[in-house]
Structure 1
Amino acid sequence: MKNDLPDLFPGFDSMTVDVNDVHLFCRIGGSGPPLLLLHGYPQSHICWHKIAPQLAEHFTVVLPDLPGYGRSSVPPLSDDHAAYSKRNIAAAMVELMKVLGHTTFSLAGHDRGGRVAYRLALDHPEMLTKVAVLDILPTCDYWDRMDRLFGLKIYHWMFLAQAAPFPENMISAAPVAFLDHTLASWTAAKDLSCFSKEAMTHNRDWFCEPDRVSATCEDYRAGARIDYEHDRSDLDAGKKIQPPLLALWGSKGIATSVDDPLEVWRGWSANVTGAAVACGHFLPEEAPQETVAALIAFFRNTAELS
């Protein structure tokens, strides 16, 4: 991994924090109540670079790379995929925030980070003031709704979840081409125009590392198995997300695979609000102003009371 990558977070500190047998690289900036931001696939904390400065005017913003992504360490693969379960990663994020001195915090997650976010809300509700999820539905809802048309829309769920090392070998034959196609295909414009040149330099750098490609596949293998089981168990038991939840989705994003994403989240949350944003899947980069305005409006009510 290159050491001369462009700095997209001027004024933010950089550090690596050891928690639960994983080394988490993160950026920290701003002041005020703590706000944890979690990225998705196939990205890193860099996806927040357009909106992090505005959020830092109101919050202490913490931006880690998920395990195996970006500059965080790569946990070993296993038959049960437990190291990449959203339950395990959520527990690591709780410990990260404790190490940084935050006993409670707000949380927003996009894509895979959104899955960590709602799992953290289910498993550790006492830690959260509020939680936001960007352009996702719960994992078991996606799998249970999988049909011909949905399968074509999120084919990568089935491809990446295949047994190692098949998907990683296929991707590693042309990692940049796969990355660029994946990112472009999930935008409203179907191109890379919403991603800055500097952000793409970061994305392409770490995604060319075979062990990190393997880690991202393991993330999806966990989603198809252990994460699904955790979700199904909570849903069958009637367990609800207790902290206030904001669901945002792109009007041309992946979560629009159902007619009413908010109605799906009402089945999981005791207190949910949300709306569509005019963009594709990548809200923080396709529609940064609309996204940051929605997040500030949602989180500041809690921030001003804390």
Structure 2
Amino acid sequence: MTRELPDLFPTFDTRIVRAKSTDFFCRIGGSGPPLLLLHGYPQSHVIWHKIAPRLASRFTLVMPDLPGYGHSSIPPRTSGHATYSKRAWAEAITEMMRLLGYETFFLAGHDRGARVGYRLALDFPGSVKKLAVLDILPTSDYWDLMDRGFGLKIYHWMFLAQPFPFPEKMISAAPVRFLEHTLASWTAEKTLDCFSDGALEHTRDWFCQPDRISASCEDYRAGATIDYDHDKADQDAGRTISAGVLALWGSKGIASSVDDPLAVWRRWSPDVQGMALPGGHFLPEEAPDETADALLSYFGG
């Protein structure tokens, strides 16, 4: 943390939990069964600040920054991107939860966090009671959909996955401009209006750090290579998610690019339900009431 930032979780504890060589920066609070919340790109745990108070009335929330994001430690780059694979992150996060005393837990993930979430549910099926994925389809499905139209919609997948250091240098030339364009362009209204000033202040702070820009690019390089291979291996072997899955997507979000997102998720789990919510990609901030209602109903049912 480079300067004093607004506290968006004033009643929550701050913990640094070291698991599998990663120091996870976590905000923890609430009461009840554990609910792990994982954020996506280009954000951190602060994405949950609008809905955390409601969820914390029913659950003990654990909100870490993913490796390389926010204030968690930055994994080293490797030639095969294994340290940024969702399998490696899922293993580390499962260990983090064990160290906090939670062998089993509910899990909700947005964007990249949802990719960690479904990988964790596949690799550690005894750990996840129920899974919610927000505005994504599985990684291999996105890559297999990559025609002209879909490529234009998620151009950043190909851009960020380019070899080091090309995307890093391009983003670092104007990191705030890139960040704010990216955030606004994925909302339904194509503005920054849904993001609170405090959340934007947090995000600008860490996203301007060159090592973290590089870490987020490595995340996408892993998605284009080792994560894709892991997904395909599971599909070829017929492995599915044993936990129930709730898929939520924005009516103007990225996952709405396919006609029936639930049909895609049914290939990954026999127990899937879900629906579109109003807004674009950033459901916890664009549709906080609807997102909180859906999560409370699903995990509390």
Shorter-chain TM range is: over 0.9
Structure 1 length as normaliser, TM-score?
A: 0.98
Partner residue in 1 for 2:10? 10
**Cα distance between partner residues in 1 of 2:17 and 2:11:** 19
- Listed one character per residue, the Cα deviations across residues 38-67 of structure 1 (whole Å, up to 9, x for unaligned) are 000000000000001110000000000000
Partner residue in 2 for 1:88? 88
Structure 2 length as normaliser, TM-score?
A: 0.99
**Cα distance between partner residues in 2 of 1:128 and 1:280:** 27
In structure 1, list runs of 5 or more residues that go unmatched.
302-306
In structure 2, list runs of 5 or more residues that go unmatched.
none
Partner residue in 1 for 2:40? 40
SS in 2 for 1:101: coil
- Matched to 1:65, the amino acid is D
Partner residue in 1 for 2:65? 65
**Cα distance between partner residues in 1 of 2:4 and 2:97:** 28
How far off is 1:270 after superposition? 1.3
Aligned-residue sequence identity (percent) comes to 68
**Cα distance between partner residues in 2 of 1:105 and 1:262:** 23
How far off is 1:3 after superposition? 3.5
- Listed one character per residue, the Cα deviations across residues 229-281 of structure 1 (whole Å, up to 9, x for unaligned) are 00000011111110000000000000011100011000100100000001000
**Cα distance between partner residues in 2 of 1:258 and 1:12:** 38
**Cα distance between partner residues in 1 of 2:117 and 2:3:** 30
- Matched to 1:152, the amino acid is L
SS in 2 for 1:126: coil
**Cα distance between partner residues in 2 of 1:130 and 1:3:** 37
**Cα distance between partner residues in 2 of 1:4 and 1:216:** 23
- Matched to 2:85, the amino acid is S
RMSD (CA atoms): 0.5
- Residue correspondences, number: 301
- Matched to 1:204, the amino acid is R
SS in 2 for 1:184: helix
Which contiguous aligned blocks of 4+ residues in structure 1 show a shift greater than 3 angstroms? none
**Cα distance between partner residues in 2 of 1:157 and 1:47:** 21
SS in 2 for 1:125: coil
SS in 1 for 2:195: coil
How far off is 1:138 after superposition? 0.3
How far off is 1:181 after superposition? 0.1
Partner residue in 2 for 1:278? 278
Partner residue in 2 for 1:208? 208
Partner residue in 1 for 2:79? 79
**Cα distance between partner residues in 2 of 1:109 and 1:41:** 11
**Cα distance between partner residues in 1 of 2:249 and 2:50:** 18
**Cα distance between partner residues in 1 of 2:11 and 2:2:** 21
Partner residue in 1 for 2:265? 265
**Cα distance between partner residues in 2 of 1:88 and 1:299:** 26
Partner residue in 2 for 1:182? 182
**Cα distance between partner residues in 1 of 2:183 and 2:128:** 30
Partner residue in 1 for 2:54? 54
**Is it true that 1:148 corresponds to 2:154 in the alignment?**
no
**Cα distance between partner residues in 1 of 2:216 and 2:234:** 25
